[in-house]
Copies of this chain bind each other. A is one copy, B any other.
């Protein structure tokens, strides 16, 4: 487990954290009552439901995303279908290439993802080595907590406490650093050479085979229309490119965007929300003229922003250290390929920080060559540090003209931008002209085939034929689709002429390139929760989620001191006033103690709490509590509501409010 620390600098402990998320219903395994039921078998992992706070948090992240990206830059948002005909994914390359390498353990019947298998086994061996070298702390712990130490010893025995040679340790570390760069054959060789087996039972595994990650189904009653659930929202955006360009009144560059669920049939889902089979994505497809050098008009606004980068070269040398660079410099030095990509990297960083992501737990890692998706020519991931390590949460890929080109080729639809040239372009080129009046009578039903064959000739071909025609007065031309098994026709000077002609192009057609920032909302949500979770020193069992106002599911908790009926109208009135300001709030009028009610809401990430007590009935004053400091102030309803508004809108911090309103120390909160 990486050395992650909470906001208060303590080591992060996943057990109480996960218990909090379960207890407060942020999310839960889908159809859990079935998983534990008898007679229910089958592989149904990797599917999660979001409960009320998770659902609200997700909605707030999406809302912020829409404001930060779509509205800020007038992107064209789409909502496309998840069901997609097979033909679309055949063209896009997903049917052939969207696969992971999978090994089967023929004895256990387990299916294992090859790269994860190698990672797990090598990491266990390295751990065993560390233990054997005495890096483990079992002995020390033995004095303080013998029971625990005993358990640890047993665990260490499981992973084999073998002392490895220094060269082997180094080799393993290098393999792990570039694990994403191996193809199926290489993974197979590693498994063989390093004798990697299924950790569960130690059985040998079969060589890796590709497993396609798309879910298949069929559309309609006839079963003649195979389809897949989309693994990304991108294809729907590409297929609508022509209409979007028209909608955008033919102005370039522009971006489309889409928020929706996608599906990947993971071989063996793990790590909770981090590797799931159904997930919410938010994707941007920014269409840009490749000849513009992929410059961006707003790059100047971001050029001094600093990013932590882990580039391809560093990784290939087996290292993982970060370089902190201004994006302007990074693009200048070609560490990051172009301005548009650089612009989006910074925008991504700003977005993540708005959510509450901690800057020191964010890095941008460049993909290795073999790691990239089949459609990408460059890719940088925004990775967030969690207890599972650095997790890819946003991918920024340069898809070049790949997708638009393949769909255009398959469908015959011109997915291009047509631009008026500032100066007409003169192109001198070879041109063949057929005498169509004579062509028909001479070739009858072959005439069309002859025409097609002439049209298909390249410039080089035309040049050769021109010389031949000049010399021989006749040329022989291969043509497909001729009648009576013929494959060639002869054309004399009476039928065809070939010469140099000048063509004037007033317009320029080009296929745009695509820069694609693609966000895994569930991964961001989970990583964020880990990064902002902590607990108060006096209460280890109960946590606090320091979600910022922007995304906290509920902004204000309203608690009456007791079930006194006089409190009811006051609480309702405050709730109504906050709602009319668009500030989400909840009343907790259960009989639990105020302290318990506040703790529950600390765990739900509610930043503020209002208490109505007997003084409120007398003088109208109420108290306002800050989740993170637990400090309280007391003032009139108007003053408190104004302070809340200013806090939610980011005009003041709690420190500002605390300074200007009188502190309240009266009630005990326990």
Contact A263 B83, beta carbon cutoff 8 Å: yes
Partner of A37, one of B80, B111, B217, B411: B411
Binds B, one of A26-34, A474-482, A610-618, A638-646: A26-34
Q: Which of A191-234 contact B (CB under 8 A)?
A: 211, 215-222, 224-227, 229
CA of A43 to CA of B88 in the docked complex: distance in angstroms? 14
Contact with B along A44-82 (1 / 0, CB 8 A): 110111111011101000000000000100101111111
Q: Which of B55, B267, B590 contacts A249 (CB 8 A)?
A: B590
Enumerate 27 A-B pairs (CB-CB under 8 Å) in ascending A order.
A24-B247, A25-B243, A31-B85, A31-B239, A32-B239, A37-B410, A37-B413, A40-B87, A42-B87, A42-B220, A43-B225, A44-B219, A44-B220, A49-B79, A49-B81, A50-B78, A51-B76, A54-B79, A71-B584, A81-B278, A82-B278, A83-B278, A215-B218, A216-B218, A217-B229, A220-B267, A229-B229
3 closest A-B pairs by CB: A43-B220, A42-B225, A37-B411
| A55, B66: Cα distance in complex, Å | 12
Closest to A53 in B: B247
A236–B30 CB distance below 8 A: yes
Q: Are A111 and B42 in contact, with the CB atoms below 8 A?
A: no
Additional A-B contact list (11), CB under 8 Å, known A31-B88, A37-B410, A43-B220: A30-B239, A31-B85, A33-B411, A37-B413, A43-B221, A43-B224, A47-B83, A49-B81, A49-B240, A83-B263, A215-B219
Number of identical protomers: 2
Question: Within 8 Å CB of A109, what residues of B?
Answer: 222
A130 to chain B, nearest CB (A): 33
Residues of B within 8 A of A572 (CB): none
Check if A160 is an interface residue, CB within 8 A of chain B. no
Contacts of A52 in B (CB 8 A): 76-78, 247
The contact of A78 among B49, B80, B87, B586, by CB within 8 Å, is B49
Q: Which residues of B contact A163 (CB under 8 A)?
A: none
Which residues of chain B are within 8 angstroms of A71 by Cβ–Cβ distance?
Answer: 579, 584
Chain B residue nearest to A227 in the complex (CB): B44
A338 within 8 A of B: no
Nearest CB in chain B to that of A590: its residue: B249
Within 8 Å CB of A78, what residues of B? 49-52, 55
Q: Cβ of A94 < 8 Å from any Cβ of B? A: no
Contacts of A221 in B (CB 8 A): 43, 102, 111, 211, 265, 267
Residue of B25, B38, B44, B215 touching A85 (CB-CB under 8 A): B44
A102 to nearest B CB, angstroms? 6
Chain B residues lying within 8 Å of A224, measured Cβ to Cβ, are: 41-43
A74: B residues at CB distance < 8 A: 586
Most chain B CB within 10 A, of A30, A216, A224, is at: A30
- Answer whether A49 and B249 are a contact pair too, CB < 8 Å, given A44-B219, A265-B219: no
User: Which B residues are in CB contact (< 8 Å) with A38?
Assistant: 412
Docked CA distance A56–B51 (Å): 26
Report the count of interface residues on A (CB-CB < 8 A).
Answer: 83
Q: Specify which chain B residues have a CB less than 8 angstroms from the CB of A51 in the assembled complex.
A: 76, 78, 240, 243-244, 247
Which of B34, B84, B87 is in CB contact (< 8 Å) with A88?
B34
User: What is the CA–CA distance of A71 and B553 in the complex, to the nearest angstrom?
Assistant: 12
User: Which residues on the B side are within 8 Å of A278 (C-beta)?
Assistant: 81-83
> In the complex, what residue of chain B is closest to A415 when comparing beta carbons?
B33
Instruction: Give the distance in Å from the alpha carbon of A353 to the alpha carbon of B413 in the complex.
Output: 42
Given contacts A33-B413, A81-B47, contact A28 B243 (CB under 8 A): yes
Q: B residues within 8 A CB of A296?
A: none
Contact with B along A247-266 (1 / 0, CB 8 A): 10100000000001101010
Give the residues in chain B near A43, CB-CB below 8 Å: 219-222, 224-225
Query: CB-nearest residue of chain B relative to A44?
Result: B85
Is A407 located at the chain interface by the 8 A CB criterion?
yes
Give the one of A31, A76, A590 with max B CB within 10 A: A31
Per the bound structure, the CA–CA distance linking A157 and B42 in Å amounts to 58
A199 to B: closest C-beta gap in Å: 18
**Assembly CA distance A42 to B90 (angstroms):** 15
Query: 1/0 per position for A392-426, CB-CB distance to B under 8 A?
Result: 00000000000000010011110100000000000
Nearest Cβ on chain B to A488's Cβ, whole angstroms: 27
Contacts of A367 in B (CB 8 A): none
CB of A277 within 8 Å of the partner chain: yes
Kindly state whether residue A354 has any CB partner on chain B within 8 Å.
no
Q: In the assembly, what is the distance between CA of A198 and CA of B664, in Å?
A: 80
Q: With an 8 A cutoff between CB atoms, is A242 at the interface? A: yes
Across-interface contacts of A277 in B (CB, < 8 A): 83, 219
Question: Min CB distance, A288 to chain B, in Å?
Answer: 19
Q: Assess the A215–B83 pair: CB atoms within 8 A.
A: yes
A33 near B77 with CB under 8 A, answer: no
Distance between Cα atoms of A450 and B446 in the complex (Å) = 91
- List of B residues within 8 angstroms of A30 by Cβ: 80-81, 84, 236, 239
Q: Are A111 and B222 in contact (CB under 8 A)?
A: yes
Closest to A228 in B: B217
Q: How far is the CA of A56 from the CA of B78 in the complex (A)?
A: 9
The answer for the CA separation of A88 and B44 in the assembled complex, in Å, is 12
Residue of B nearest to A588 (CB): B249
- Determine if B33 and A58 form an interchain contact, defined as CB atoms under 8 angstroms apart: no
Chain B residues with CB under 8 Å of A28's CB are 240, 243
CB distance from A93 to the nearest CB of B (A): 15
Residues of B within 8 A of A37 (CB): 410-413
Task: Give CA–CA (A344, B276) in the complex, Å.
Answer: 36
In the complex, A219→B54 CA distance in Å? 24
Min Cβ gap A521→B in Å is 11
